[in-house]
Amino acid sequence: MKPTLLVLAAGMGSRYGGLKQMDGLGPCGETIIDYSIYDAVQAGFGKIVYIVREYFKEQMEAHCREKYAGVKCIDGTPLVFEFVTQELDKLPAPYKPLPEREKPWGTAHAVLMAKDVIKEPFAVINGDDYYGKDAFAVLGKWLSNHSSTTGQYCLVGFQLDHTLSESGGVSRGVCTAGPDGMLTKVEECHNVAKEADGRCYGDNSVTGAVHEEYPCCAPVSMNMWGFTPDYFNLSEEVFKQFLKDNIGELKKEFYIPYVVDSFIKSGIASCEVLHTSSHWFGVTFKEDRPGVVAKFREFADAGVYPTPLYG
């Protein structure tokens, strides 16, 4: 059973100034998602599921038809694509969002939108993050080895100070793992940045602490997760409780780290922290763009990827 790649691409790109999902950053106009799909196929994935917003779903589908026509999995079968939308009103009964709410309900809500189209082990990634070949290989192998398990999940951990932007603070899931490599805690933190003293600081959304220091070498979640299908029903129950407590909040979001942390605390699931030699980079801000363009040019010049990526 080939694993599925779930791409979170419903973000509105408010800080970036446009749809990062569609921005051509590679030498031949490749998007970051193009590179992720290329690496995923090489790692044995067989299906790609996009989470998008309704207003640009048609544009994304057209992009896929153009870029991925004829792409085959490593076993020679066609690569399969599905598109699912995330909207504010897609909530379990009896909940309805306040009319004033503008943003979707977060990454864990986005994953739930794919419940009806994913029946196999699956990975979750951000559409605007580059994770690297080794990260996909490590995650693909883990998923293939867990095709019949339940309550066992994983994340690929990246070193905190290797994931920051020089253009402003970012959100990161700061992880704590035990000596056995199992995740014991993950906390969503915002406005994380390395400051002039060389240390990393951020605002902890779980504890409410502001300008809290974090070890620069701490593993962080860049939303590269591995789940089995039982995740959907378990997270749906957590979401119902979340809505019960937060339905009146205009900006509160339901994040994947929050869900996994809830699983660990209740003992209903475990999460292994996987290590990778890959280096993450992404485009949180418009100012990040030139560096990412240069990086993809370096990859092309070194023969890491073919140019064009799909031809």
Spell out the domains of the chain, with CATH numbers in brackets: 4-302 (3.90.550.10)
For the chain, the farthest-separated pair of C-alpha atoms sits apart, in whole angstroms, at: 55
Q: In this predicted structure, what is the pLDDT of residue 14? A: 46
> Which pLDDT score, from 0 to 100, does residue 283 have?
85
pTM for the whole structure: 0.90
- Could you give the CA distance from residue 288 to residue 273 in angstroms, rounded to a whole number? 28
The stretches in the chain having pLDDT less than 70 are: 11-21
Chain length of the chain = 311
Amino acid identity for residue 259 in this structure: V
Condensed to tens digits (0 to 9), the pLDDT of residues 243-288 reads 999 999 998 999 998 899 899 999 999 999 999 889 899 887 788 8
Give the pLDDT score at 284: 75
Q: Please count the other Cβ atoms lying within 10 Å of the Cβ belonging to residue 27.
A: 16
Answer whether 97's CB lies under 8 Å from 89's CB: yes
262 C-beta neighbours (distance < 10 Å), count: 18
